[in-house]
Amino acid sequence: MQVLDSIAEAIGHTPMVKLSRFGKGLGHNLLAKCEFLNPGGSIKDRIAWHMVCKAEERGQLRPGGMIVEATAGNTGVGLAMAAALKGYKLTTVMSAKVSQDKVKLLKALGAQVIITPMGKATDDPDHFINRARAIAAEQGAWLSDQFNNQDNIEAHYQLTGPEIWEQTEGTVDVLIAGAGTGGTLSGAGKYLKERKPSVRVVLTDPVGSVQSHIFNETQGNPAAYLVEGIGGEIIANNLHLDIIDAAISISDQEAISAAYDLMRSEALFVGSSSGCIAAAAVSYCRRLSLDGERNLNIVAVLPDGGRAYMSTIYDDSWLNEKNINLRENAIR
């Protein structure tokens, strides 16, 4: 029988789709790694399950225990799945920036949700990461700590990287993704470079985040931006800059337009970080073409789906309120 023991076995092995319409005329093969097709709806299912299994092996998590995590939502969903299957309690701490859809979703999945004020400095006790750390310490809970936990990187090194390698039969030339914790780029990027040192790893960064400025050694102050889950005001420990070859900045307007475009042209319904990464992939293809390169295989990692953004980027009044004017081809 083709029956899984639990839904956890459905994590990973996501499809890779050629973006022949979205990427038309770019002179390169744009390939999307569809991480939004994981059972919990995002790439974070991979790391949540891996971090929990590893913590159990080390005796950091015991039966009936409590998990605490600071999350933009998706890691929380992955952890909620692990908590349900393995009998743990889960508390998630999120910044007020995240969509209400994600808050409702996490509550529906059985997690306790704590919201911290938006825009707090990284050394402020009310910053969502610091609050999660304090709650874990107070409650004697296990902090999964995706920003520092090496098992986050390891999940991508053991799963995401090899899948991309196999799906492209080793012909991948460029990996492009965003960085929240950095796990995707550091883990999958390291694996692919070990297999093929010429692979280039490209960081997608929302305008307002400082990651690309730090990488490019340019001047840039942190500013608010709308794209969720990637970028930030610091480089997380799990984002290994030595693995990155280039960084591309993308505005909210471009990112959101590209998310609409992906649905209109490829029937891929995705979130804002996917739009941002797809827009960066287009921009990087143009850069490569200017340098005279042609026909490279560019793999863009699309982290999550559009349903978590129905009250934000897929809501007309929200777009108006935030002054986002979609590019014309995005609304055709």
Ligand X SMILES: Cc1ncc(COP(=O)(O)O)c(C=O)c1O
- The closest alpha carbon to 312, from 265, 266, 255, belongs to 255
- The piece of 166-174, 224-232, 255-263, 283-291 that touches ligand X (CB under 6 A) is 224-232
The token pair at 56 is 């159990």
For residue 271, state whether it binds ligand X (rule: CB under 6 A): yes
How many angstroms separate the Cα of 66 from the Cα of each of 109, 144, 325? 15, 10, 43
Q: Does 41 engage in binding with ligand X (CB under 6 A)?
A: no
* Paired tokens of 219: 């001047």
CB 279 within 8 A of CB 12: no
Q: How far is the CB of 297 from ligand X (least distance, A)?
A: 21
- Residue 305 lies near ligand X (rule: CB under 6 A): no
Q: Interface with ligand X includes 273 (CB under 6 A)? A: yes
Residue whose C-alpha is closest to residue 272's, from 201, 206, 202, 183: 206
Q: With contact defined as beta carbons under 8 Å apart, do 35 and 5 qualify?
A: no
Q: Whole-angstrom Cα distance, residue 164 to residue 247?
A: 20
**The residue to which tokens 């998990």 are assigned:** 67
Quick check: 116 binds ligand X (CB under 6 A)? no
Q: Looking at beta carbons only, is 204 or 288 nearer to ligand X?
A: 204
Of 65 and 303, nearer to ligand X (C-beta) is 303
Q: Three-class SS of residue 194?
A: helix
Which is closer to ligand X, CB of 65 or CB of 271? Answer: 271
Question: Which residue's CB is nearer to ligand X, number 141 or number 153?
Answer: 153
Q: Is 196 a catalytic residue?
A: no
Site string for ligand X, 57-76 (x = CB under 6 A): ---------------x-x--
Q: Residue 181: is it exposed, middle or buried by C-beta count within 10 angstroms (0-12/13-18/19+)?
A: buried
Please tell me whether residue 230 binds ligand X under the rule CB under 6 A: yes
Q: Applying CB under 6 A, which part among 14-22, 134-142, 177-185, 205-213 lies near ligand X?
A: 177-185
Q: Which residues are near ligand X by CB under 6 A? A: 72, 74, 178-184, 228-230, 271, 273, 303-304
| Active site members | 44
